Amino acid sequence: MTSPALKPATSISLNTNRNLSQLRAIFRFAVSSLHQRKTAARQVTPISQNHSQRRHIQLLIPGLQNLIVRTFEEIRQDTKITSTTSVRYVYENTCEKSPLRKLLLHQCACHLKITWFRENPQQFPKQFLLDLAELGLQVIERKTMKEHVGLASNRSQYEVDED
């Protein structure tokens, strides 16, 4: 059984002319719904629910999560824009192992200009930046990093002029 609220969102046809604010509103609605459903699912005791109701709630939450992930990826593919305006919202409203966090982290790491993070720091919470640094350090070999920064070959870069 599909929720009536999900039917319009699943038929979104994205193109480069679509108003991104509408898409952001859809995303915020979906994340908010997801949060409300998780809260409601925690508050309902299994004794007061029958098995089919519990199963419906369990299936709806992953379906909603997957809809959000697919929508974000469609936006990026269709517009060639990596949305960073929702990063803070996602990090504040999802758990540490959230696949949506992972998607946004990977999209930003792979598609944004290196300078984007410094130019728009208000869009990135501290945990996102820590995740990004950790991801970067996992990808780059330490030997390559040492060569790139000149840790061993250019020690004078860390000294100040004494004149």
Specify whether the CB–CB gap between 105 and 128 falls below 8 A: yes
Helix ranges (H only) for 44-141 are 51-79, 87-93, 99-111, 116-119, 126-139
Amino acid 2: pLDDT: 40
Say how far apart CA 60 and CA 33 lie, in whole Å. Answer: 11
What is the rounded CA–CA span in Å between residue 40 and residue 19? 32
Tell me the average confidence (pLDDT) per consecutive run of 10 residues in the chain, 163 residues long: 38 42 63 60 48 48 82 88 88 88 94 95 96 93 89 89 87
- Which domain covers residue 36, as residue numbers? 7-128
Structural domain contains residue 83: yes
**Residue 143 is assigned to a structural domain of this protein:** no
Residue with tokens 């002319």: 17
The answer to whether residue 116 sits within a structural domain is yes
Helices 99-111 & 51-79 angle (0-180, nearest 10)? 10
Estimate to the nearest angstrom the gap between the alpha carbon of 48 and the chain centroid. 35
Q: Model pTM?
A: 0.62
Does 135 fall in a domain? Answer: no
Do the domain assignments include residue 1?
Answer: no
Question: How many folded domains does the chain comprise?
Answer: 1
pLDDT value at position 27? 65
Q: What pLDDT sits at residue 106? A: 95
At 75 the pLDDT is 86
Domain assignment of residue 160, yes or no: no
- Per-residue exposure over 143-158, b if at least 16 CB sit within 10 Å of its own CB, e if not: eeeeeeeeeeeeeeee
Residue 144 belongs to a domain: no
pLDDT of residue 68: 84
Asked if residue 151 belongs to a domain, the reply is no
Give the per-residue pLDDT at 109: 95
